[in-house]
Copies of this chain bind each other. A is one copy, B any other.
């Protein structure tokens, strides 16, 4: 069970936008993020297209353009991002699909299991916002400075 690069790149990129929002609210270009993360510009472009259609980010076209978050970081959860890029978390079909094969006698015990895993993941990603990640990040920086004297 692993996220694809879409989810991983996407969350990192959104975090990048959140950092910029907090700092100076200037648009960030795909090029800059792609360089920072060392990934393909073209590929990231596609991810951003999805995020824009889902209204999580806004684009500013033309020179010196780029992207900004469409909402404050506190109003964007990790689940919002992952749902767009990875599709909804579905451990197994039979969570939603009542009439699938696993609704037969004897298989409900596994269905209950999938639901437990599903709930667990969703509880985490629904509760963590970009703002929370920013806070963690600031906290981490502070700690590092104290410990390493950098």
Binding site for B on A (CB under 8 A): 1-3, 7-8, 11-12, 15-16, 19, 36-38, 78, 82, 86-87, 89-92, 101-102, 106-110, 112-114, 116-117, 120-121, 123-125, 128, 133-134, 136-137, 140
Contacts and interface: CB of A to CB of B under 8 A. Distances in A.
Nearest to A12: B110
A134 B1 CA distance: 24
Contact of A116 (B87, B106, B128): B128
Query: Copies per complex?
Result: 2
A133 B113 contact: yes
Contact of A90 (B2, B114, B125): B2
Nearest to A125: B117
A109 B116 CA distance: 26
Chain A contact residues: helix, strand, loop or mixed: helix
A2 to B, nearest CB: 5
Q: Sorted from nearest, which 9 A-B pairs have the closest CB atoms? A: A109-B137, A109-B133, A120-B124, A1-B89, A120-B120, A2-B90, A12-B110, A109-B136, A8-B92
